[in-house]
Chains A and B, each alone.
Chain A
Amino acid sequence: MTTRMRSFNEVLLSVENISLSFGGVKALTDISFDIAKGEIRAIIGPNGAGKSSMLNCINGFYHPQQGAITYKGVRRSQMKPHEAAEQGIARTFQNIALFRGMSTLDNIMTGRNLRMKTGLFWQALHIGPAQREEIENRKVVERIIDFLEIQHIRKAPVGQLPYGLQKRVELGRALAAEPELLLLDEPMAGMNIEEKQDMCRFILDVNDEFGTTICLIEHDMGVVMDISDRVVVLDYGRKIGDGVPDEVRSNEAVVAAYLGVSH
């Protein structure tokens, strides 16, 4: 097993002392970490550790009661999900959240929504600026379709695609937004080895070719240790480890959490 050793200087996003609770249930307690520009950052932890809640806080879907998030130098305590999208944060979901009534092409085209601005009038006529805009964005989307090797399902309704392909289409939709920070919630859950290898390759390629910063949640330890630069470990809503894969692997608290040793 090789660990990639790269160094990063610029911090893209930092999370400071985030706490989140639903009614009396604490989902996250006093969590701080940062994501450097250009790195692949993983969040791991047992089920119910608060990993998805953490992503939901970062892209503004949940509003933490305490703490703040600094993104690209701007500190904020709250924002709306579409504001996060406008600032270049895109994501995929643990349980696939594609638009089931639409084709693969249309799904990925929705990822371009923030760049499509022609108003009702031109849209109603579908000529001039509206058509030009549609074709320009279509070209970008076709490049993504080529990149993800899903040309053959371009016009198929996504609801009927197999699970692995749906995950790929969802990644395509997130990529279509050309994000600076890409959040992936269990991109490889439920996949077989081959599909996992494909997905790993896509994630690494995205990171290399487009320089996209990636923050991912994953259960498969082998994959996480292979592809990520740094790892945050959560357990019961608290941070119990943070560092490069080798450090985390030898961290006693992490081993205990995963092997179920009593605290």
Chain B
Amino acid sequence: MLGPFLETLIGGLLTGVLYSLVALGFVLIFKASGVFNFAQGAMVLFAALTIARLSGEIDGKEVHLANFVVAAAILGVAVAFIGWYAWREYVARGAGPGERRKLQMLAAAGALVGGIAAYSYGKGAWPIWLAIAATAAIMGLLAYAIERLVLRHLVNQEGIILFMATLGIAYFLDGFGQTLWGSDIYKINLGLPKDPLFLFEGVFPGGLLVDPGELVAAAIAAGLVVVLAIFFQKTRVGRALRAVADDHAAAQSVGIPLNTIWLIVWTVSGLVALAAGLIWGAKLGVQFSISLIALKALPVLILGGFTSVPGAIVGGLIIGAGEKLSEVFLAPILVKQFDLAGGGIENWFAYMLALVFLLFRPQGLFGERIIERV
């Protein structure tokens, strides 16, 4: 009994790390801008689709055309952007040293993207690292577009309006990704080991069955979580982020540029989405249902709190484990007892778990008690 239990628990915890990762994307944006970003799942799907199609395999066939079109598109956008920026900085106003450095970085980014495009035109399918790098650049551009086209125009609107706007972004991204890349099921090949691993053979008869691919994926995710936590707590940018989260107006008045901060958090969230999409896609294939894992990460948020990084991590593990354990051990009992047409309770069990928890501790796992004033 203990063996299967531990196996399920480990499987659940490994999935839980992924939930933590997605939840972290939510938390970053909510903390820094008070936006409840429903597009996080769509960003995960978009990133996964982009990587899968750039690295180019559909059932073994290499796809040249799509790569070429996209590479050209990226190149075009990048060049146009740099041109516009240079014009604005030099011709219209003249540039200071900081702006010159920005421009150099942009030129470098453009050159990189151009190089990638040229490489792709020659070679067809891209190696995975290149696909990831290009996707990272695209996620940055996406963050820029979202800040520029949407958020900037909705400053000081109520939370629900911003939430609706991210729902609109989610719809747009879902449609855009699939229009651009198609809507079949694609694979991402990270070259992860596939053979099952048996651990603790001495302790349990037959050992514990663990998928090494999941182990590696969880390790990557855990690494990212740690890096982000440090970024948030220790760096200067991280401190600025937390200041913005506390009070927009106060942060602005001490000279923290709100727009830049938003651009940074959305880019970081885009990168987090990329990591989640990569791992999830490598594990289960890239398809539309990926955008629904955002929904899986939501109970993590109410459990851990919308603004707590450690909450997202621990919450993810609890939800992942609880979900798997409930499906394996509780669902069969329910099915038998109530004559159900199948289990599938993992779809709501995590929510109920989080909800019941919340009734007893409304501030979440790591939240502080709020003193209300009148």
Contact = CB atoms under 8 A, between A and B. Distances in A.
A121 interface: no
A184 to B, nearest CB: 13
Contacts of A56: 374
A93 interface: yes
B79 to A, nearest CB: 49
Given A93-B374, A94-B374, A97-B374, 4 more contacts: A22-B371, A52-B373, A61-B374, A95-B374
A204 B372 CA distance: 31
Interface in A21-69: 22, 52, 56, 61
Interface string B350-374: 0000000000000000000001111
Chain B interface size range: under 10
B176 to A, nearest CB: 37
Contacts of A93: 374
Nearest to A95: B374
Nearest to B368: A23
**A contact residues, range:** under 10
Contacts of A95: 374
Contacts of B372: 61
Contacts of A97: 374
A61 B371 CA distance: 11
Looking at chain B's contact residues, the main secondary structure is: loop
A56 B374 CA distance: 8
A61 B374 CA distance: 9
Contacts of A94: 374
Interface of B: 371-374
A101 to B, nearest CB: 12
Interface of A: 22, 52, 56, 61, 93-95, 97
Contacts of B373: 52
A56 B372 CA distance: 11
Contacts of A52: 373-374
B131 to A, nearest CB: 50
A95 B374 CA distance: 7
| A-B pairs with lowest CB-CB distance, top 10 | A93-B374, A22-B371, A97-B374, A61-B374, A56-B374, A94-B374, A52-B374, A95-B374, A52-B373, A61-B372
A22 B370 CA distance: 10
10 contacts: A22-B371, A52-B373, A52-B374, A56-B374, A61-B372, A61-B374, A93-B374, A94-B374, A95-B374, A97-B374
Nearest to B373: A52
Find the residue from B371, B372, B373, B374 having the highest chain A CB count within 10 A.
Answer: B374
Nearest to A185: B374
Contacts of B371: 22
A42 B371 CA distance: 26
A95 B373 CA distance: 10
A207 B374 CA distance: 24
Nearest to A91: B374
A174 to B, nearest CB: 13
Nearest to A56: B374
B367 to A, nearest CB: 14
A97 B374 CA distance: 8
A34 B175 CA distance: 68
A209 to B, nearest CB: 28
Contacts of B374: 52, 56, 61, 93-95, 97
A93 B374 CA distance: 7
Nearest to A61: B374
Nearest to A97: B374
A52 B373 CA distance: 9
A94 B374 CA distance: 7
B369 to A, nearest CB: 8
Nearest to B369: A23
